[in-house]
A and B are shown apart, each in its own frame.
Chain A
């Protein structure tokens, strides 16, 4: 190879298209070795925005993040949730291994406040990870520069930055350094890497995330007590 070219390639700000970019900060292990292998730095990026674009809420989008959050809180680091979509059920978070005293939940009423709170939390060096749900507050009309602001704020604070969004937002341009599309796949979760600092991912990953029940063995109908004289059924599920 041309020595001048070799020299250029050795520069830290030059990335070859077929190699993973160097993450400025060590990544957070996701707890899913097969996912880690596909992510630059070997885990969730720190100091950069990650978009988690779920086909629907409730398919396991949070379960994908729980192992990393459990590890952070176990080390006494703080995790902030900005505008979570529902009430957090403390026993479930505790059962997932999250230290509850390390969680802070922020409930802004105005979309502007929510974006501000997100930026402030991301910029804060005392926060190890910030989780955000902003699209519903903005009625899916997120201001154009929001992603960029969040991404830059994450760069200042150096923590994990996880933005949960509806899958429809995948079509838009994004400043995020990692974008994952999430789909339900029975017991598993299908993870499609839409964007990463590195070569395009070839195929989707099927990950075994923690689920509350076995699948697809449905409950026998006999377990259901009858009410209102409705007829006894042999199976609940088809």
Chain B
């Protein structure tokens, strides 16, 4: 599955290096033997029992990390290596050094079974990193963050999961912590995408104090969406590219700088648009047949009136209207206006209203463009 033992070991070494973990690897036919061999720093690669037994013979007894009283007793007998123990009759070893130790030895040698509990990945991800030196510049944090992001991606890969939100905490010491939440428009799982958004977000961050440590936290992973249809129409790929773009724009420009557009059920034009496309659209569609401008001037621009006509860089010609829009008396946003379509001397199409109540006055409220 992993392309053979050497390839697997290479991948393990690479991944460990990416996470800056120093490790001693050992391969043996039993779990305990592998642990002892690794501790003894022998680059052992024993795939069967005879080889494992031969390698174990050379392992110093300190690698067993025995409880100190037992270790002292063994040392007192002049024994240094596992091989020295194996040369002695097993029954007398049990009498002198205790039954648990002999059982461990038998497990390491593969004489009795040594069932292992399956490793269960933690339900939530939380991993931190002390920075080797205080960091003043936010972009420098990216280097450290790469390790944590690689670990997170591994955690996600193990559960075939994806995340929409990542909590990133920057520790300045003295209990001072900057929280930098990363939000994604769609669940992500690749280290590359997480890193890109992280980088954009860091560019905007101004550190209030030097950073001493960094921590990533994910409360919950969700199952990855299967996108097999992408194989056929490219739609899934486009969707992913778009989600990635929106994440990067949001990370660099701020989440409020990227908006959707939706109709909102309100007669008042300035309340008829919503930035959040996920908000319920309401049941007030665009008034059919009535002129509505693509652009809204917010707040409305007060216009001069001369000789009975509204003026804006010259007199405006009214082409259609009035359309009375009256709404909002129930929530204090009282609006009663008479709307007109107008054109100016340059051929621009304007949406005007006149306040019918005294003192009245003309306002520019939109452009037809």
A236 at interface (Cβ–Cβ under 8 A)?
yes
B295→A124 contact, CB < 8 A = no
Chain A residue nearest in CB terms to B320: A213
B245→A121 contact, CB < 8 A = yes
B5 at interface (Cβ–Cβ under 8 A)?
no
B296→A58 contact, CB < 8 A = no
Number of interface residues of A (CB under 8 A): 66
Question: In the assembled complex, how far is the CB of residue A71 from the closest CB belonging to chain B, in whole angstroms?
Answer: 17
8 Å CB contact of B262 from A90, A113, A121: A90
Number of interface residues of B (CB under 8 A): 69
Within 8 A of B (CB), among A47-105: 55-63, 78, 84-96, 100-101, 103-105
Question: In the assembled complex, how far is the CB of residue A97 from the closest CB belonging to chain B, in whole angstroms?
Answer: 10
Question: In the assembled complex, how far is the CB of residue B236 from the closest CB belonging to chain A, in whole angstroms?
Answer: 10
B320→A219 contact, CB < 8 A = yes
A28 at interface (Cβ–Cβ under 8 A)?
no
**A214 contacts which chain B residues (CB < 8 A)?**
319-320
**B273 contacts which chain A residues (CB < 8 A)?**
87-91
For the complex with contacts A89-B366, A107-B259, 5 further pairs of A-B residues with Cβ separation under 8 Å are A60-B368, A89-B293, A116-B252, A213-B291, A219-B320
8 Å CB contact of B367 from A58, A124, A127, A211: A58
Question: In the assembled complex, how far is the CB of residue A205 from the closest CB belonging to chain B, in whole angstroms?
Answer: 16
Within 8 A of A (CB), among B249-263: 249, 252-253, 256-263
A117 to B31, CA, bound (A): 54
Question: In the assembled complex, how far is the CB of residue A163 from the closest CB belonging to chain B, in whole angstroms?
Answer: 15
**B275 contacts which chain A residues (CB < 8 A)?**
105
A183→B347 contact, CB < 8 A = yes
Chain A residue nearest in CB terms to B270: A87
Q: Which of A85, A124, A212 neighbours the largest number of chain B CB atoms within 10 Å of its CB?
A: A212
Q: Is the interface of A mostly helix, strand, loop or mixed?
A: loop
A215 to B349, CA, bound (A): 11
B308→A228 contact, CB < 8 A = no
**A213 contacts which chain B residues (CB < 8 A)?**
291, 319-320, 341
B294→A92 contact, CB < 8 A = yes
A218 at interface (Cβ–Cβ under 8 A)?
yes
Interface code A104-142, partner B: CB below 8 Å = 1, 0 otherwise? Answer: 111111000100110011001111000000000000000
Question: In the assembled complex, how far is the CB of residue B242 from the closest CB belonging to chain A, in whole angstroms?
Answer: 3
A148 at interface (Cβ–Cβ under 8 A)?
no
